[in-house]
Structure 1
């Protein structure tokens, strides 16, 4: 019974491991994890906890003189 109580206490107080794979992927794409993307941003991938990796859309640079 003491073993069960000990394991319960140890497992209860351990913090869950963070899966940073999706955040690292977003950083490599030069994006930011947000709840919603803005009008000038595109959804490139997903982050953890239902967040979206948003990246600012680059303009083409063609200007009319």
Structure 2
């Protein structure tokens, strides 16, 4: 009984530290934790409580010096 209580307490206090790790990882990627990603966002990782880390996708642009099509 003491062993199971000890394990419960140990896992209970480790859970918030694990969740903070995922949120910190998302913020380093300049993302945001949300329930779903928008059309112009990409899922990069997971956050706490089944949230998704979404990062805005930057569109590819043509460089002005390489206009071989015109």
TM-score normalised according to structure 2 size: 0.63
Match of 1:46 in 2: 46
Equivalent residues in 2 for 1:49-60, closer than 5 Å? 49-60=49-60
State the 4+ residue runs in structure 1 displaced beyond 4 angstroms: none
1:18-37 matched pairs, under 5 angstroms: 18=16, 19-37=19-37
Aligned length: 52
Name stretches of at least 5 consecutive residues in structure 1 with no aligned partner.
1-10
SS at structure 1 position matched to 2:33: strand
